[in-house]
Amino acid sequence: MDQVDRVDPDRGDEGDGGTHWGEAVTTATTTPRPGDLAVSPGVGILRGPLVGSEESTPLEEDEPEGIVPPSPLWAMKDRRHVQWHLLPSHERHERVRDCIGAGDWAIYVVDDGRHHVMLGRRVGRVAGECEYSLVGRATRDHYDALRADPTDLAGAFDGATELTLCGVAEEESILSSNVFDVDRYDDVAAIPAAYRPGAPYVELTEALEIAVD
């Protein structure tokens, strides 16, 4: 059965029995915890992995719902425009963790601000090295339409923007917060058929060639 979790945005950083949702912290005065964004004095928030201290954060951290697998979850979190956990509690929008469909048709969804979501699907992996996921940004109306009629997910990424094939590296047998772009697409027609919804998950023997600078 498909699952959806829309979390009360007013519960604060330590809702759900003490879960730490992460925040922006100044490294000069505070040691980051898993899920935090480190802020360097005079520089501001640096775009990059959501990590605590100098160690990579396991992707399962601070995701008590367990709905979205690590690779698409971290790729979507890294590529979304609005980081929910950095907003003041009174400004937080509806937090979304969802899976529409199953198996090779599974489309994962996380929030990206009040009016958008990030979509993701697992494409394949090189065992022990990295896993690849296709991600894109869509409107909440598009998400609501998918949820209302999940019988045909072939067009799940139709109309989505910022379509990207992302790799998430494995480090010491865990999926880490090391996310990198493999390829970017102007529209759905440019996405190889092997990466689109419904295509089988691929066990690769070698890493995909990076096609972006």
Structure tokens at 205: 């023997």
Q: What is the mean pLDDT of each run of 10 residues along the chain (213 residues)?
A: 40 43 58 56 46 48 75 89 67 82 96 91 92 96 94 92 91 66 96 96 94 85
- Exposure of 151 by Cβ count < 10 A (0-12 exposed, 13-18 middle, 19+ buried)? exposed
* SS3 assignment, position 130: strand
What is the model's pLDDT at position 173? 55
pLDDT one-digit tens code per residue, 135-187: 999 999 999 999 999 988 999 999 899 999 999 887 665 555 688 999 999 99
* Dihedral angle over CA of 73, 77, 79, 85, nearest 10: 170
What is the model's pLDDT at position 125? 94
Q: Residue 133: beta bridge partners? A: 122, 166
| Angle 17-59-23 from CA coordinates, rounded to 5° | 60
What is the model's pLDDT at position 62? 64
Q: Residue 5: beta bridge partners? A: 97
What is the model's pLDDT at position 66? 79
